[in-house]
Chains A and B, each alone.
Chain A
Amino acid sequence: MSEHIVPTKTNVAVWLTLLVLTGVTAGVAFIDLGPFNTVVALVIATVKALLVVLIFMHVKYTSEKLVKVVVISAIFFLALLLGLSLADYTTRLLM
Protein backbone atom coordinates (compact mmCIF):
# COMPACT_ATOMS: atom_id res chain seq x y z
CA MET A 1 0.00 0.00 0.00
CA SER A 2 1.45 3.39 -0.95
CA GLU A 3 1.15 6.52 1.15
CA HIS A 4 -1.49 7.72 -1.28
CA ILE A 5 -4.55 8.77 0.73
CA VAL A 6 -7.82 8.35 -1.14
CA PRO A 7 -10.01 11.46 -0.83
CA THR A 8 -13.26 10.99 1.10
CA LYS A 9 -15.20 12.17 -1.94
CA THR A 10 -13.91 9.18 -3.92
CA ASN A 11 -14.72 6.73 -1.14
CA VAL A 12 -18.26 8.08 -0.80
CA ALA A 13 -18.77 8.04 -4.59
CA VAL A 14 -17.71 4.38 -4.75
CA TRP A 15 -19.95 3.53 -1.79
CA LEU A 16 -23.00 5.17 -3.41
CA THR A 17 -22.27 3.45 -6.74
CA LEU A 18 -22.09 0.09 -4.96
CA LEU A 19 -25.44 0.70 -3.25
CA VAL A 20 -27.11 1.77 -6.50
CA LEU A 21 -25.72 -1.28 -8.33
CA THR A 22 -27.07 -3.51 -5.54
CA GLY A 23 -30.53 -2.02 -6.02
CA VAL A 24 -30.25 -2.48 -9.79
CA THR A 25 -29.24 -6.13 -9.35
CA ALA A 26 -32.27 -6.83 -7.16
CA GLY A 27 -34.63 -4.87 -9.42
CA VAL A 28 -33.49 -6.40 -12.71
CA ALA A 29 -34.05 -9.87 -11.26
CA PHE A 30 -37.79 -9.29 -11.60
CA ILE A 31 -37.58 -8.33 -15.28
CA ASP A 32 -37.68 -11.19 -17.77
CA LEU A 33 -34.43 -11.17 -19.76
CA GLY A 34 -34.36 -14.92 -20.29
CA PRO A 35 -30.87 -16.36 -19.90
CA PHE A 36 -29.41 -12.85 -19.72
CA ASN A 37 -30.70 -12.33 -16.17
CA THR A 38 -27.76 -14.35 -14.89
CA VAL A 39 -25.32 -12.57 -17.21
CA VAL A 40 -26.49 -9.12 -16.11
CA ALA A 41 -26.37 -10.08 -12.43
CA LEU A 42 -22.83 -11.43 -12.72
CA VAL A 43 -21.60 -8.49 -14.80
CA ILE A 44 -22.93 -6.05 -12.20
CA ALA A 45 -21.36 -8.15 -9.41
CA THR A 46 -18.02 -8.04 -11.24
CA VAL A 47 -18.21 -4.25 -11.63
CA LYS A 48 -18.87 -3.99 -7.88
CA ALA A 49 -15.98 -6.32 -7.10
CA LEU A 50 -13.67 -4.30 -9.34
CA LEU A 51 -14.64 -1.06 -7.57
CA VAL A 52 -13.90 -2.63 -4.20
CA VAL A 53 -10.58 -4.16 -5.32
CA LEU A 54 -9.26 -1.13 -7.19
CA ILE A 55 -10.31 1.64 -4.84
CA PHE A 56 -11.29 0.33 -1.41
CA MET A 57 -8.46 -2.22 -1.45
CA HIS A 58 -6.11 0.36 -2.97
CA VAL A 59 -4.86 -1.79 -5.87
CA LYS A 60 -5.25 1.14 -8.27
CA TYR A 61 -2.94 3.31 -6.16
CA THR A 62 -0.37 0.80 -4.98
CA SER A 63 3.32 1.39 -5.70
CA GLU A 64 3.99 -2.32 -5.22
CA LYS A 65 3.49 -3.83 -8.68
CA LEU A 66 3.68 -7.38 -7.34
CA VAL A 67 0.27 -6.85 -5.71
CA LYS A 68 -1.28 -6.44 -9.15
CA VAL A 69 0.52 -9.60 -10.34
CA VAL A 70 -0.90 -11.58 -7.38
CA VAL A 71 -4.46 -10.28 -7.93
CA ILE A 72 -4.41 -11.07 -11.64
CA SER A 73 -2.89 -14.50 -11.00
CA ALA A 74 -5.57 -15.36 -8.45
CA ILE A 75 -8.31 -14.35 -10.87
CA PHE A 76 -6.61 -16.33 -13.63
CA PHE A 77 -6.47 -19.52 -11.57
CA LEU A 78 -10.10 -19.08 -10.50
CA ALA A 79 -11.07 -18.63 -14.14
CA LEU A 80 -9.12 -21.77 -14.99
CA LEU A 81 -10.92 -23.77 -12.29
CA LEU A 82 -14.37 -22.54 -13.25
CA GLY A 83 -13.77 -22.42 -16.98
CA LEU A 84 -12.34 -25.88 -17.46
CA SER A 85 -14.77 -27.53 -15.00
CA LEU A 86 -17.79 -25.95 -16.65
CA ALA A 87 -16.44 -26.69 -20.14
CA ASP A 88 -16.45 -30.35 -19.14
CA TYR A 89 -19.74 -30.62 -17.27
CA THR A 90 -21.88 -28.43 -19.50
CA THR A 91 -20.85 -30.29 -22.65
CA ARG A 92 -21.83 -33.73 -21.40
CA LEU A 93 -24.91 -35.59 -22.54
CA LEU A 94 -27.18 -36.10 -19.53
CA MET A 95 -29.49 -39.04 -19.05
Chain B
Amino acid sequence: MADRPIAVEQHNPALKHHFVDMEQQREASSLGMWLFLATEIMFFGGMFCAYLIYRYWYFPDFAAASSSLDITLGTVNTAVLICSSLTVVMAVRSAQLGKRQQQVVYLALTLVLGLAFLGIKGIEWTSKFKEHHIPGPTFNFEASLPGHPDQPVDQHHAQLFFSLYFAMTGMHALHMIIGVGIFTYLLYHAWKGAYTPEYHTPLENSGLYWHFVDIVWIYLFPLLYLIDRKK
Protein backbone atom coordinates (compact mmCIF):
# COMPACT_ATOMS: atom_id res chain seq x y z
CA MET B 1 0.00 0.00 0.00
CA ALA B 2 2.62 2.50 1.08
CA ASP B 3 4.78 2.10 -2.07
CA ARG B 4 1.99 2.99 -4.51
CA PRO B 5 1.63 6.72 -5.09
CA ILE B 6 -1.88 8.08 -4.51
CA ALA B 7 -3.12 10.87 -6.76
CA VAL B 8 -3.97 13.94 -4.73
CA GLU B 9 -5.87 16.80 -6.28
CA GLN B 10 -3.94 20.03 -5.87
CA HIS B 11 -6.12 22.81 -4.55
CA ASN B 12 -5.75 26.30 -3.20
CA PRO B 13 -4.79 26.17 0.51
CA ALA B 14 -7.68 28.55 1.23
CA LEU B 15 -10.27 26.07 -0.09
CA LYS B 16 -12.28 24.46 2.69
CA HIS B 17 -13.08 20.81 2.12
CA HIS B 18 -16.86 21.14 2.21
CA PHE B 19 -16.74 23.23 -0.98
CA VAL B 20 -16.28 21.78 -4.46
CA ASP B 21 -14.05 24.58 -5.74
CA MET B 22 -12.94 28.15 -5.00
CA GLU B 23 -15.75 29.67 -7.02
CA GLN B 24 -18.44 27.88 -5.01
CA GLN B 25 -16.72 28.88 -1.78
CA ARG B 26 -16.53 32.50 -2.90
CA GLU B 27 -20.20 32.57 -3.91
CA ALA B 28 -21.28 30.97 -0.61
CA SER B 29 -19.24 33.55 1.33
CA SER B 30 -20.76 36.37 -0.63
CA LEU B 31 -24.28 35.04 -0.10
CA GLY B 32 -23.61 34.82 3.64
CA MET B 33 -22.44 38.42 3.72
CA TRP B 34 -25.56 39.53 1.84
CA LEU B 35 -27.79 37.70 4.33
CA PHE B 36 -26.08 39.61 7.13
CA LEU B 37 -26.57 42.88 5.21
CA ALA B 38 -30.27 42.03 4.88
CA THR B 39 -30.49 41.93 8.70
CA GLU B 40 -28.64 45.27 8.83
CA ILE B 41 -31.14 46.77 6.39
CA MET B 42 -33.96 45.82 8.76
CA PHE B 43 -31.95 47.07 11.75
CA PHE B 44 -31.52 50.56 10.30
CA GLY B 45 -34.99 50.27 8.77
CA GLY B 46 -36.56 50.31 12.22
CA MET B 47 -34.92 53.63 13.04
CA PHE B 48 -35.85 55.10 9.67
CA CYS B 49 -39.45 54.04 10.34
CA ALA B 50 -39.53 55.82 13.71
CA TYR B 51 -37.96 58.90 12.11
CA LEU B 52 -40.46 58.99 9.24
CA ILE B 53 -43.47 58.76 11.59
CA TYR B 54 -42.30 61.57 13.89
CA ARG B 55 -41.25 63.71 10.93
CA TYR B 56 -44.75 63.29 9.48
CA TRP B 57 -46.36 64.31 12.79
CA TYR B 58 -44.09 67.23 13.67
CA PHE B 59 -42.90 68.42 10.27
CA PRO B 60 -42.42 72.18 11.01
CA ASP B 61 -40.45 71.54 14.22
CA PHE B 62 -38.37 68.88 12.45
CA ALA B 63 -37.71 71.27 9.56
CA ALA B 64 -36.48 73.97 11.93
CA ALA B 65 -34.23 71.51 13.77
CA SER B 66 -32.92 70.10 10.50
CA SER B 67 -31.95 73.58 9.28
CA SER B 68 -29.62 73.94 12.27
CA LEU B 69 -27.42 71.14 10.87
CA ASP B 70 -24.41 72.17 8.79
CA ILE B 71 -25.40 71.35 5.19
CA THR B 72 -21.87 71.97 3.87
CA LEU B 73 -20.31 69.47 6.25
CA GLY B 74 -23.10 66.99 5.51
CA THR B 75 -22.57 67.28 1.75
CA VAL B 76 -18.80 67.03 2.12
CA ASN B 77 -19.19 63.90 4.25
CA THR B 78 -21.44 62.35 1.61
CA ALA B 79 -18.76 63.03 -1.00
CA VAL B 80 -16.08 61.58 1.32
CA LEU B 81 -17.99 58.31 1.66
CA ILE B 82 -18.64 58.11 -2.09
CA CYS B 83 -14.90 58.53 -2.72
CA SER B 84 -14.19 55.82 -0.14
CA SER B 85 -16.54 53.44 -1.96
CA LEU B 86 -14.54 54.05 -5.14
CA THR B 87 -11.25 53.30 -3.37
CA VAL B 88 -12.76 50.09 -1.94
CA VAL B 89 -13.88 48.95 -5.39
CA MET B 90 -10.43 49.74 -6.80
CA ALA B 91 -8.77 47.81 -3.93
CA VAL B 92 -10.82 44.70 -4.76
CA ARG B 93 -9.99 45.15 -8.44
CA SER B 94 -6.28 45.38 -7.58
CA ALA B 95 -6.56 42.06 -5.74
CA GLN B 96 -8.37 40.50 -8.71
CA LEU B 97 -5.44 41.59 -10.91
CA GLY B 98 -2.80 40.40 -8.42
CA LYS B 99 -1.40 43.86 -7.71
CA ARG B 100 -0.32 43.84 -4.08
CA GLN B 101 1.05 47.37 -3.79
CA GLN B 102 -1.97 48.90 -5.49
CA GLN B 103 -4.27 47.03 -3.08
CA VAL B 104 -2.37 48.51 -0.13
CA VAL B 105 -2.59 52.04 -1.53
CA TYR B 106 -6.34 51.85 -2.14
CA LEU B 107 -7.00 50.28 1.28
CA ALA B 108 -4.94 53.00 2.95
CA LEU B 109 -6.90 55.68 1.04
CA THR B 110 -10.16 54.07 2.15
CA LEU B 111 -9.00 54.22 5.76
CA VAL B 112 -8.01 57.87 5.45
CA LEU B 113 -11.40 58.76 3.96
CA GLY B 114 -13.25 56.76 6.62
CA LEU B 115 -11.36 58.55 9.36
CA ALA B 116 -12.01 61.89 7.65
CA PHE B 117 -15.74 61.13 7.74
CA LEU B 118 -15.56 60.35 11.46
CA GLY B 119 -13.53 63.50 12.08
CA ILE B 120 -16.08 65.70 10.34
CA LYS B 121 -18.87 63.95 12.28
CA GLY B 122 -17.00 64.78 15.47
CA ILE B 123 -16.83 68.43 14.48
CA GLU B 124 -20.57 68.47 13.79
CA TRP B 125 -21.43 66.82 17.10
CA THR B 126 -19.14 69.19 19.00
CA SER B 127 -20.98 72.19 17.58
CA LYS B 128 -24.29 70.54 18.52
CA PHE B 129 -22.96 70.15 22.06
CA LYS B 130 -22.00 73.83 22.23
CA GLU B 131 -25.41 74.92 20.92
CA HIS B 132 -27.18 72.81 23.58
CA HIS B 133 -28.84 70.66 20.95
CA ILE B 134 -27.95 67.35 22.58
CA PRO B 135 -31.08 65.81 24.15
CA GLY B 136 -31.06 65.83 27.92
CA PRO B 137 -31.34 68.26 30.84
CA THR B 138 -29.30 70.98 29.07
CA PHE B 139 -31.32 70.81 25.84
CA ASN B 140 -32.46 74.18 24.53
CA PHE B 141 -33.51 74.85 20.95
CA GLU B 142 -34.18 78.55 20.38
CA ALA B 143 -35.87 79.06 17.04
CA SER B 144 -39.13 79.95 15.39
CA LEU B 145 -41.03 77.82 12.93
CA PRO B 146 -39.81 78.35 9.36
CA GLY B 147 -41.90 81.05 7.74
CA HIS B 148 -43.60 81.96 11.03
CA PRO B 149 -41.27 84.20 13.07
CA ASP B 150 -43.92 84.65 15.79
CA GLN B 151 -44.35 80.93 16.50
CA PRO B 152 -41.63 79.24 18.58
CA VAL B 153 -40.52 75.68 17.91
CA ASP B 154 -41.92 73.08 20.30
CA GLN B 155 -39.01 72.00 22.54
CA HIS B 156 -40.26 68.42 22.91
CA HIS B 157 -40.58 67.92 19.16
CA ALA B 158 -37.19 69.49 18.50
CA GLN B 159 -35.65 67.22 21.12
CA LEU B 160 -37.25 64.24 19.35
CA PHE B 161 -35.55 65.24 16.11
CA PHE B 162 -32.17 65.47 17.80
CA SER B 163 -32.69 62.17 19.63
CA LEU B 164 -33.28 60.52 16.27
CA TYR B 165 -30.39 62.46 14.70
CA PHE B 166 -27.91 61.28 17.33
CA ALA B 167 -29.29 57.73 17.44
CA MET B 168 -29.14 57.29 13.66
CA THR B 169 -25.87 59.11 12.93
CA GLY B 170 -24.42 57.53 16.08
CA MET B 171 -25.33 54.02 14.98
CA HIS B 172 -23.99 54.84 11.52
CA ALA B 173 -20.75 56.19 13.02
CA LEU B 174 -20.41 53.00 15.10
CA HIS B 175 -20.67 51.01 11.88
CA MET B 176 -18.00 53.27 10.36
CA ILE B 177 -15.69 52.69 13.34
CA ILE B 178 -16.15 48.93 12.96
CA GLY B 179 -15.45 49.34 9.24
CA VAL B 180 -12.26 51.26 9.99
CA GLY B 181 -11.19 48.40 12.28
CA ILE B 182 -11.93 45.80 9.61
CA PHE B 183 -10.06 47.75 6.95
CA THR B 184 -7.04 48.21 9.23
CA TYR B 185 -6.95 44.42 9.53
CA LEU B 186 -7.29 44.10 5.74
CA LEU B 187 -4.56 46.69 5.14
CA TYR B 188 -2.10 44.69 7.24
CA HIS B 189 -2.90 41.38 5.58
CA ALA B 190 -2.94 42.87 2.08
CA TRP B 191 0.50 44.27 2.76
CA LYS B 192 1.58 40.78 3.77
CA GLY B 193 0.35 39.48 0.42
CA ALA B 194 -2.58 37.46 1.73
CA TYR B 195 -4.99 38.47 -1.04
CA THR B 196 -4.47 37.01 -4.51
CA PRO B 197 -6.55 36.74 -7.67
CA GLU B 198 -7.58 33.25 -6.52
CA TYR B 199 -8.48 34.26 -2.98
CA HIS B 200 -9.53 37.76 -1.90
CA THR B 201 -12.87 36.95 -0.27
CA PRO B 202 -12.25 38.98 2.93
CA LEU B 203 -11.63 42.03 0.74
CA GLU B 204 -14.80 41.49 -1.29
CA ASN B 205 -17.06 40.88 1.70
CA SER B 206 -15.63 43.78 3.71
CA GLY B 207 -16.21 45.90 0.62
CA LEU B 208 -19.87 44.87 0.65
CA TYR B 209 -20.12 45.96 4.29
CA TRP B 210 -18.47 49.30 3.54
CA HIS B 211 -20.76 49.99 0.55
CA PHE B 212 -23.78 49.18 2.71
CA VAL B 213 -22.70 51.73 5.34
CA ASP B 214 -22.27 54.24 2.48
CA ILE B 215 -25.83 53.55 1.28
CA VAL B 216 -27.22 54.13 4.78
CA TRP B 217 -25.57 57.55 4.78
CA ILE B 218 -26.88 58.25 1.25
CA TYR B 219 -30.37 58.07 2.76
CA LEU B 220 -29.54 59.68 6.10
CA PHE B 221 -28.16 62.84 4.47
CA PRO B 222 -31.29 64.07 2.62
CA LEU B 223 -33.66 62.90 5.37
CA LEU B 224 -31.81 64.57 8.25
CA TYR B 225 -30.14 67.59 6.64
CA LEU B 226 -32.52 68.61 3.84
CA ILE B 227 -36.03 68.54 5.36
CA ASP B 228 -36.86 72.13 4.39
CA ARG B 229 -34.06 74.44 3.32
CA LYS B 230 -36.18 76.71 1.14
CA LYS B 231 -36.92 79.31 3.81
A residues engaging B (CB < 8 A)?
Answer: 1, 3, 5-6, 8, 11-12, 14-15, 18-19, 22-23, 25-26, 29-32, 37-38, 41-42, 44-45, 48-49, 52-53, 56-58, 62-64, 66-67, 70-71, 73-75, 77-78, 81-82, 85-86, 89-90, 94
Query: A-B contact count, CB below 8 Å?
Result: 136
Q: Which residues of B contact A37 (CB under 8 A)?
A: 226, 228, 230
In the complex the two chains form, is A63's CB within 8 Å of B219's CB? no
In the complex the two chains form, is A12's CB within 8 Å of B86's CB? yes
**In chain B between 70 and 108, which residues have their CB closer than 8 angstroms to a CB of chain A?**
71, 75, 78-79, 82-83, 85-86, 88-90, 93, 96-97
Q: Which residues of A contact B215 (CB under 8 A)?
A: 48-49, 52-53
The CA of A57 and the CA of B86, in the complex, are separated in Å by 11
Report which of A52, A70, A78, A86 forms a contact with B34, defined as CB distance below 8 A.
A70
B residues engaging A (CB < 8 A)?
Answer: 23, 26-27, 30-31, 34-35, 37-38, 41-42, 45-46, 48-49, 52-53, 56-57, 71, 75, 78-79, 82-83, 85-86, 88-90, 93, 96-97, 204, 207-208, 211-212, 214-215, 218-219, 221-223, 226-230
In the complex the two chains form, is B78's CB within 8 Å of A52's CB? no
Given A29-B226, A67-B34, A11:B78 Cβ within 8 A: no
